[in-house]
Structure 1
Amino acid sequence: MAYVVAALVLVGLLGALNLMLAVGVVRRLREHSAELAALRSGGAAADAGALSSFGEVALRDGSPVGAFTAVAVDGEPVTLGTFGDRPLVGFFSPGCTPCEEQLPAFVEFAADRPGGRGTRLAVVVGAGEETAETVERLSPVATVVVEPDGGPVQQAFGVTGFPAFVLVSDGLVTASHYQLHAVAGRDAAALSAAG
């Protein structure tokens, strides 16, 4: 009988320990969910200084874009000069949930942006079949380049995460962010100021 009591006490203690560990894991998951929500909302929960530590995914405003040469999916050579004085550039990676969330907004914004398809560059990072759907969605509104991770266009723009949106003016970054609305707002302001 003493063995049964000892076994029940041991099982009870293990159950209590398991419950405490589960509560700790749930608490940590809630913290991570809150941090992820803050990142996806553009860092609204953080001040601008804190945002710069986790919001940057490309070169900072005022930085010169590096030289690059690439080939578009239609076979045409591509350089920064190909896109005029004020290109809009978007970087996407298939399988990236934030990229999928931002892609329809980019397509819509790019379609409505003055200057035509030749003022927009979309870079899809990946290879083969995984990029096909993204390329198909972007091709009507932008020149599309497919390159591997760490490719020449990503290096020229200092891309460290996806999605990344960059607005360039005369070879200098005027806006960059992982949320399209931040770049689109700067673009709209610049276009209205220009006339």
Structure 2
Amino acid sequence: MSYLAAAIALIGLLAALNLLFTVGVVRRLRDQSAELAALRESGQAKPRPVDDVALPVGAPAGAFAATTIDGEPVTLGTFGERPLVGFFSPRCTPCKEQLPTFVKYAAARPGGRDTVLAVIVGTEEEAQETAELLRPVATVVVEPDAGPLQRALGVTGFPAFLLIEGETVAASDYVFLPVADRDLAVPAAG
């Protein structure tokens, strides 16, 4: 009988500790919500749209330096005045769905692979199959998650597509066609 009483007391003590912990978490969340609301009202914190997976249109593109799968060094300036950039992850189903459209468009883009950068996020082994599809139409870089190109272009999800004009983001989306439409519209307007 004493074991039963000890077990019940222990369960009661654990339940009380759990309740205290939960009250503390709720209090902390309330405090953080109030702080965030105050920052937003003061204009110091601007909410980023949920569907942004890269820098928004009008943002300056960050500088980067990387090495291609062919061992060549690249920077943003390597790709001319209007680079087209695509970010892919080998484990990403939407990336696999968007990849054929990106490859077909890049193959027909004026300037060819010298104006197109494809970034594959993962290990060399994971990236091999995707890299073989992209290599004929784009300059390919493989980097780990949160690598320098992702940081420079604010990439937080995959796939991500950007059109950069004069070091400023002209188009950015997780769907390729709106970026391609912007790319096609600029030469026609010029």
- TM-score relative to the length of structure 1: 0.72
Q: What aligned pairs does 1:27-176 form with structure 2 within 5 A after superposition?
A: 53-176=49-172
Post-superposition offset of 1:131: 0.7
Structure-2-length-normalised TM-score: 0.74
Task: Give the residue type in structure 1 aligned to 2:49.
Answer: S
Per-residue deviation, residues 142-193 of structure 1 (Å, max 9, x unmatched): 0000000000001000000000000000000000000000101111111211
Percent of matched pairs sharing the same residue: 64
Instruction: Note if contact 2:68-2:139 (Cα within 8 Å) is conserved in structure 1.
Output: yes
The residue type equivalent to 1:174 in the other structure is: A
Aligned to 1:182: 178
Measure the CA separation in 2 of the matches of 1:105 and 1:91.
13
**Distance in 2 between residues matched to 1:79 and 1:128, nearest whole Å:** 20
CA deviation vs aligned residue, 1:124-157 (integer Å, no higher than 9, x gap): 0000311100000000000000000000001000
Residue ranges of structure 2 left out of the alignment (5+ in a row): 1-47
Aligned partners of 2:61 and 2:168 also within 8 Å: yes
Q: 1:191 aligns with which of 176, 181, 187?
A: 187
How far has the Cα of 1:88 moved from its partner? 0.1
- Counterpart Cα distance in 2 of 1:134 and 1:116: 18
1:31-85 alpha-carbon deviations (Å, 9 max, x no partner): xxxxxxxxxxxxxxxxxxxxx7222100011111111100000100010000000
Work out the CA distance in 1 between the residues paired with 2:113 and 2:131: 14
Corresponding residue for residue 12 of structure 2:
none
Contact 2:82 2:164 survives alignment (8 Å): yes
Structure 1 SS opposite 2:54: coil
